[in-house]
Structure 1
Amino acid sequence: SVAIFRGLRRTALALPRPDAVRSRPGRAWRWRNLLVSFAHSVLAGLWALFSLWHSPELLSDIQDGYSVSGHLLVCFSSGYFIHDSLDIIFNHQSRSSWEYLVHHAMAISAFVSLIITGRFLVAAMLLLLVEVSNIFLTVRMLLKMSNVPSPALYEANKYVNLVMYFIFRLAPQSYLTWYFLRYVEVQGQGAFLTANLLLLDAMILMYFSRLLRSDFFPSLRKGSAGRDVDGEKFLID
């Protein structure tokens, strides 16, 4: 699936860009990167949602439940994380996007173990529901970068984004953390995935704090004066 995302990146290169992006060379790579990220979020998020809706019995066996659709979804998203990591590195964006590289390394290593063993695929499907939330996070950043003269559109997305964050990011993550700590043996693959999950918990809470400060409590932001969206890949700043 890495080739699919390379193709999407080439398509993004051919798409027209807003004036605010064309006039700022530093934004060109981020704009293309976010468009590919948006495509992955739409495809993977809806795929995970449909798979769990179509086969709800999978939720009764998070460790050993199996579906071909879920297995293919994990392979598909692994390809995206590999593609995005290479895109960041080859375009010399590692310094400003190092947190993404850490996240992707965690995701790739965890997903590869799932692909090989065929276990915990349902957990991965639940985690990939986060991509539904990422749709609105990515729209948020695209709106900021393009300087869309419509505060109402940004405001509406801001509140939808917050609701989606709770439903598709915080809720599945909290449930899986509880499940792993309560039912999964802390050895072998279980220990590795539990450690990954706890690190992801910390990252998600950090991102949530940034989101709240940026969109709902801007007076609490520190050191953000003069910061430019060109200097960050992150969707929360």
Structure 2
Amino acid sequence: MADDVQHYFDPHMYKGSENVELVTGYLAISAGLLTFTLINYAAIKIGPAHYMKGDIWRWRNTLVSWIHAVLVGTGVLYFLWIESVFGVDLVLFCEPGMYMLVAFSLGYFLHDFADHLVNNKLFSNYEVIIHHIGVIWSFWYNVHYQMYIPYTIIALMVEVNSVFLHARKLMQLNQWSFNHWLYKFVIVLNLITFVGFRLYGVYLVGKYVYIIWDKFTVVYQVFIVITMGVMYLINPILFWRLVKNDVIRNLRSSTMKSQQIGHVLNNNAKKDLNDESSHTH
């Protein structure tokens, strides 16, 4: 019987979940918006370290994004493994904790869009803004109509990787040595979680879009296709840049350093040999 209900499910006729209140969703959105606005304000007042290198706005924006990733990424891990989000109905299941996490995250994306707007960064980071528009609309739709919440939790898997992706950028801006063990540790975790949570997460989102496609409204289908298109375009490019900068360049640098050391040792050996020869004669 349940399968028949699922088969004939019409998203236009759905009246919302009995497990959550709409006002709770909007309060969580407001809480997220207020939280990250206050964090941003505190970052402005405190300012970066005096040795920070680069755009101060980028440092501040990355710091706020990192805090969002830590908070939401932790929640996502909880729902992935403790609550087993993969074992529930991706369309209709609406648990209060998941619901509020999605709404809270929406508050961050609203803040970040406003931050780009106020600081005239919309066009310079246009790919981020296109992604944000799709995320804001789809997250709002999910919260307002109380649908696709587990599906959205899966989409937020990328935030687990964002913890290390943003940490890497913050360490660069604060001029950490590339040879520092902690920086190398962050690089390794960034690449591992990029594959395990970002690339795999985006794959799962696309997979489930296909599976539950007929349970989306037409407007939602349009926005999800745009958002997924941006994600499928950006992430492979970003991953290649990370591999090129953090793996290939380091390998080349190590090889060149070894060659230089070998060249110096050879020269010293030749010099010693010549000195011995001259002493012999």
> How far off is 1:194 after superposition?
4.2
> How far off is 1:205 after superposition?
2.0
* Alpha carbons of structure 1 residues 39 and 118: separation in structure 2 relative to 1, 3 Å: same
Counterpart position of 2:243: 212
Flag the structure with larger Rg. Answer: 2
CA contact (8 A) 1:74 1:115 kept: yes
Tell me if 1:145 matches 2:173. Answer: yes
Counterpart position of 2:218: 188
Distance 1:11 1:76 in 2: 19
Tell me if 1:154 matches 2:183. Answer: yes
Counterpart position of 2:152: 124
Counterpart position of 1:174: 203
Distance 1:124 1:187 in 2: 16
When the two chains are superposed, the root-mean-square deviation of aligned CA atoms in Å is 2.2
Identity %: 26
> How far off is 1:48 after superposition?
1.5
* Alpha carbons of structure 1 residues 140 and 57: separation in structure 2 relative to 1, 3 Å: closer
Counterpart position of 2:162: 134
Aligned residue identity for 1:88: H
Counterpart position of 2:109: 81
Aligned residue identity for 1:192: V
Give aligned pairs, total. 216
1:1-237 to 2 correspondence within 5 Å?
Answer: 1-15=32-46, 17-21=48-52, 27-56=55-84, 59-149=87-177, 151-152=179-180, 153-185=182-214, 188=218, 191-192=221-222, 194-195=224-225, 196-218=227-249
**Structure 1: 4+ residue segments shifted above 4 A:** none
> How far off is 1:55 after superposition?
1.9
Distance 2:156 2:243 in 1: 22
* Alpha carbons of structure 1 residues 84 and 57: separation in structure 2 relative to 1, 3 Å: closer
Distance 1:57 1:150 in 2: 38
**Deviations 1:106-157, CA, capped at 9 Å, x for gaps:** 1101111111221111111011121110010001101111112352332221
Aligned residue identity for 1:146: N
What stretches of structure 1 of length at least 5 have no aligned partner?
220-237
Matched position secondary structure for 2:243: helix
Normalising by the residue count of structure 1, what TM-score does the alignment of the two structures yield? 0.82
